[in-house]
Amino acid sequence: MLSNIRVVLINTFHPGNIGSAARAMKNMGIRSLYLVDPQDFPNEQALTMAAGAKDIVEQAIITSTLSEAIADCSFVIGTSARDRTHSLPQMNARECGERIITESQSHPVALVFGRETMGLHNDELQQCNAHTYITAHPDYPVLNLAAAVQTICYEIYMAHQLHAEQPYTLGNSPKEKAYPNTQQMEYFYQHLETTLRNIGFLIKQHPGNTMLKLKRLFNRARPERQELSILRGVLSAIDKLSAQIKKDN
C-alpha cells in the first residue's frame, strides 16, 4: 500500500525543505517524491537535510506541472489551511491518513503540498479530489513545510500499522470501486469542452470560467470509471447529433 503513495511538492523555495521532507517520508515508509518546478534543485542542502534519506532525494521525479505529477493517480489530496473557502471535501490529517491507506490499496494516490509562503493556488486545489488540514493552535497554525509532511506521513503510517494489525477480511472489506486516473479525467474534460463548444454552449473566447466550475463539480463528485464511461457516452451521443446537424446544414 505504501508504495502506491507519492508526495508531490510544488515550487519549493528552500532546498533544505526538500531534504527534510524526504527524511520525514522515509521515516514513515513512503518513498516516492515528485517535485513540481522546484526553485533550486538539485542542491547540496537538500542532501544534507535528507540525512539517511538521500536515496529519496536522488530518485525524486521532477515535472514542470502538477498535472504531469499526478497523471496516473486516482485519488489526489491537497494540503491547505483549514479555513480556506472552497468546495472540496475537507478532512483532518488523521482522517486523511486513514483515507489514503484505504485508497492506496487499489490505485496510486498523491498527497500534494504547496509553496512555503503561499500554499496551493486555486487551480492546483481544483485538480484535487479532497483537501486536508493539520489540526493546530489558532494563535499560530502555520507549520513549516517539512513539519507538515512529517505530520501527515506519520498519520498515514499510523493508519497503515493499524490496518496491518486489523486487516480487512472478506466480511468487512471496503467496497472496491474503480476510479479513473487524473489523465483519464483530463481526456474527459477535453471531450466535454469540445462538445460544449460544438453545440455553442461555450463561446470560444471565454470557456474558462464555465469549464472551471464544471471541473470543480466533477472533481468533487469523483466519478467512478463506469460512471465516467457513461458520461463519455453521453458526450459521444451529443457529438453525433451535432455532426449530423452540421452535415444537414
90 binds a second copy (CB under 8 A): no
99 binds a second copy (CB under 8 A): no
The residue range among 26-34, 75-83, 201-209, 232-240 that interacts with a second copy, by the rule CB under 8 A, is 26-34
23 binds a second copy (CB under 8 A): yes
The least CB distance from residue 9 to a second copy, in Å, is 16
| Cα 82 → chain centroid | 17
The least CB distance from residue 82 to a second copy, in Å, is 12
The residue range among 23-31, 197-205, 207-215, 226-234 that interacts with a second copy, by the rule CB under 8 A, is 23-31
Q: Which long-range contacts (CB under 8 A, 24 or more apart) does 87-91 make?
A: 87/216, 87/220, 88/125, 88/128, 88/129, 88/130, 88/131, 88/219, 88/220, 89/129, 89/130, 89/131, 89/220, 90/130, 90/131, 90/132, 90/133, 91/130, 91/131, 91/132
The least CB distance from residue 238 to a second copy, in Å, is 49
80 binds a second copy (CB under 8 A): no
Q: Which is nearer to a second copy, 16 or 108 (CB)?
A: 16
- Contacts with a second copy by CB under 8 A: the residue count is 30
Buried b (16+ CB within 10 A) or exposed e, 200-218: eebeeeeeeeebeebbbeb
Residue of 178, 22, 157 lying closest to 93 (CA atoms):
157
The least CB distance from residue 153 to a second copy, in Å, is 10
Residues from 123 through 162 that contact a second copy (CB under 8 A) = 134-137, 139-144, 146-147, 150-151, 154, 157-158, 161
Contact with a second copy (CB under 8 A): which of 7, 9, 18, 24? 24
The residue range among 16-24, 33-41, 96-104, 184-192 that interacts with a second copy, by the rule CB under 8 A, is 16-24
51 binds a second copy (CB under 8 A): yes
Cα distance between residue 102 and residue 54, in whole Å: 28
100 binds a second copy (CB under 8 A): no
The least CB distance from residue 58 to a second copy, in Å, is 15
Residues from 157 through 186 that contact a second copy (CB under 8 A) = 157-158, 161
Binding site for a second copy (CB under 8 A): 20, 23-24, 26-29, 49, 51-53, 94, 134-137, 139-144, 146-147, 150-151, 154, 157-158, 161
